[in-house]
Structure 1
Amino acid sequence: MTLDALKPKITEIIIQFDISTDEKLANICKLLHDEVDYYNWVGFYFANHETQTLHLGPYVGAETDHTVIPFGKGICGQVAVSNQNFVVPDVSAQDNYIACSFTVKSEIVVPLFVNGKNIGQIDIDSHVLNPFSETDERFLEFVNEEVAKLF
């Protein structure tokens, strides 16, 4: 299924009235994980601006020890500070990378804004080198625009 074909499915999840926000986020993670073959770990992190930390929300994929990430640390922590998308074609080439698993080869992180404030991000790991394109970035920006409606 193409990324564009997934857009209406994302919107359908967002507008469901009979499930919680966490269930919606988990369903989005499952949809992306199941339908995009190079999205091997999909999850949301949410910012605590007082403690300058990110906290793991719903996700699908291998278990992770990285449930709390300080701002500035790793790819996710850098996005919390920069407020910009971060595409890493090869995680082994990154100095400030937090290794989750030896199977992870690349990562994309896109910040989630609500009323102009970065409240978190969607984080996707891939077992493939350099699979993420500008199309992925635009799609994940759309996903986060839809998710922002929940907050």
Structure 2
Amino acid sequence: MNISELKESITTLTESNNTVSKKLQLICDLLKQEIEYYDWVGFYFKNGDKQELRLAEFAGEPTEHIIIPFGKGICGQVALSNQNFVVPDVEAQDNYISCGFKVKSEIVIPIFVNNENIGQIDIDSHTVNPFSENDELLLEFVCEKVAKLF
């Protein structure tokens, strides 16, 4: 993973003339394509005034988890904690929502606009414990760029 090249590509995508939806889709596609252990990449955003997240753009297999209540699963926990959450092995998590038997690990990074958690990027991997500090740094950068779209 060449982080500086990916950051350049993300910056170019977020500064393009595409719609926000198209920019988010292109980011999902790029990350899934460029990082071999990113098997599912998606964005969840707060669903209006409800205490739930709604799936937006994603790349990977379709999921039944379109709506996730705050507090439920890894994404729902991040909606409340406002903290990065790296799960090296999903089987070790009590409050995990299974997106499929192939998923072995997950990383979720919140997106902040004016100090408010408006959503997150969610990555699932079919590999146990693939995520490093570099992944967190890259995804925090992605979230900072995405936040500027809102």
TM range (shorter): over 0.9
Give the TM-score normalised by structure 2: 0.98
Give 1:46 deviation, angstroms.
0.1
Residue 107 of structure 1 aligns with which residue? 106
Residue 28 of structure 1 aligns with which residue? 27
User: AA paired with 2:141?
Assistant: F
1:125 aligns with 2:142: no
CA deviations over 1:70-128 (Å, ceiling 9, x no partner)? 00000000000000000000001100000001000000000000111000000000000
Rounded to whole Å, the distance in 2 between the matches of 1:38 and 1:91 is 15
1:10 aligns with 2:10: yes
Single out whichever of 135-144 and 68-77 deviates more from structure 2: 135-144
Give 1:2 deviation, angstroms.
1.4
Question: Please, which runs of 5 or more residues in structure 1 have no aligned partner?
Answer: none
Rounded to whole Å, the distance in 2 between the matches of 1:33 and 1:57 is 16
User: AA paired with 2:16?
Assistant: Q
1:75 aligns with 2:79: no
Rounded to whole Å, the distance in 2 between the matches of 1:50 and 1:20 is 23
User: AA paired with 1:64?
Assistant: T
Residue 96 of structure 2 aligns with which residue? 97
Rounded to whole Å, the distance in 2 between the matches of 1:43 and 1:49 is 18
User: AA paired with 2:96?
Assistant: Y
Single out whichever of 2-11 and 38-47 deviates more from structure 2: 2-11
> The residue matched to 2:96 in structure 1 has which SS?
coil
Q: Percent identity?
A: 63
Rounded to whole Å, the distance in 2 between the matches of 1:108 and 1:7 is 18
Single out whichever of 34-43 and 44-53 deviates more from structure 2: 44-53
RMSD: 0.8
Residue 88 of structure 1 aligns with which residue? 87
User: AA paired with 1:112?
Assistant: I
Give 1:5 deviation, angstroms.
1.8
Question: Please, which runs of 5 or more residues in structure 2 have no aligned partner?
Answer: none
Q: How many residues align?
A: 150
List 4+ stretches of structure 1 deviating above 3 A.
none
Rounded to whole Å, the distance in 2 between the matches of 1:56 and 1:117 is 18
